[in-house]
A and B are shown apart, each in its own frame.
Chain A
Amino acid sequence: MRRVAITHVAQSSGAESRESLMDFTYQINREILDKAGLKREDVGCIIAGSADIFHSGLSCANAFDWDGIGAFLKEGSRAEESAMSFIYGCMRILSGHYDTVLVTALVKGSENPDNDPITSFYGDPFYLRPVGINESVVAAMQMRQYMERYKVTEEQCAKVAVKNLANALFNPYADRKRRVSLKDVMSSERVYDPLKALECAPKSDGVVSVLLASESRAKKLTKKPVWFAGYGCSMDHFNPGDRDLLNGQLKTAAAAAYKMAGVRDPKKKIDVAEVCEPYAFQELLWCEQLGFCGEGGGGKLIDSGATQMDGALPVNPSGGVLATNPYPARGLYRIAEAALQIKGEAGEHQVGKKVKTALAHSTHGFGGQCHSVVILSA
Chain B
Amino acid sequence: MGKAVAIIGTGQTKHGRRSDVCYPDLVKEAVSAALMDAGITLKDIDGVVLGTMPSMMEGVSSTHFYFAEAMGAVGKPVMKVETCGSTGQSIGHCGFFWVASGMADIVLVVGSEKMSEGDGQATMTTVFDPFFQRTFAAGAPGVFTMQSMEWMYRFKIPEEKGREAAAMISVSNHDNAMDNPYAHIRTRVTMDDVKNARVITYPVRLLDVCPASDGACAVVFASERTAKKICKKPAWIKGLGFRGEEFFYGESDKAIWMSATEAAKEAYQQAGIRNPMKQLDVAELYNPFTYQEMIFYECFGFCPRGEAPDYVLKGAFKKGGQLPCCPSGGTLCTNPIGATGLIRLAEAALQVTGKAGARQVEGAKLALSHAMGGVDQFNAVTILGSKL
| A positions within 8 Å CB-CB of B | 1, 22, 51-53, 57-64, 66-67, 71-81, 84, 87-88, 90-97, 118, 121-125, 231-238, 249, 252-253, 256, 364-366, 369-370, 372
Contacts and interface: CB of A to CB of B under 8 A. Distances in A.
Contacts of A73: 243-245, 258-259, 262
Q: How large is the interface on B (under 10, 10 to 19, 20 to 34, 35 or more residues)?
A: 35 or more
A122 to B, nearest CB: 5
A148 B154 CA distance: 72
B16 interface: no
8 contacts: A52-B82, A58-B127, A60-B54, A60-B84, A61-B82, A62-B378, A67-B246, A73-B262
A125 B57 CA distance: 13
A63 B68 contact: no
Given A95-B97, A97-B1, 7 more contacts: A52-B56, A59-B55, A61-B82, A88-B94, A93-B101, A235-B68, A370-B78
Given A58-B127, A59-B124, A75-B241, A84 B80 contact: yes
B59 interface: yes
Contacts, number: 194
A71 B77 CA distance: 27
Interface stretch (B194-202, B305-313, B369-377): B369-377
Contact of B76 (A51, A77, A234): A234
B116 interface: no
A72 B77 contact: no
Contacts of B84: 60, 62-63
Contacts of A92: 97, 101
Interface of B: 1-3, 48, 53-57, 59-62, 64-69, 73-84, 90, 93-94, 96-98, 100-103, 123-124, 126-127, 129-130, 241-247, 258-259, 262, 266, 373-375, 377-378
B246 A256 contact: no
Contacts of A121: 55, 60-62
Given A77-B94, A80-B82, A94-B102, A58 B75 contact: no
A59 to B, nearest CB: 4
Nearest to A51: B62
A117 to B, nearest CB: 11
A204 B65 CA distance: 23
B65 A238 contact: yes
B68 A369 contact: yes
B62 to A, nearest CB: 6
A366 B374 CA distance: 30
B94 A235 contact: no
A97 B78 contact: no
Given A60-B374, A369-B65, A233 B80 contact: no
A100 B3 CA distance: 18
A369 B65 CA distance: 7
A233 to B, nearest CB: 4
Given A77-B90, A121-B60, A125-B60, A234 B81 contact: no
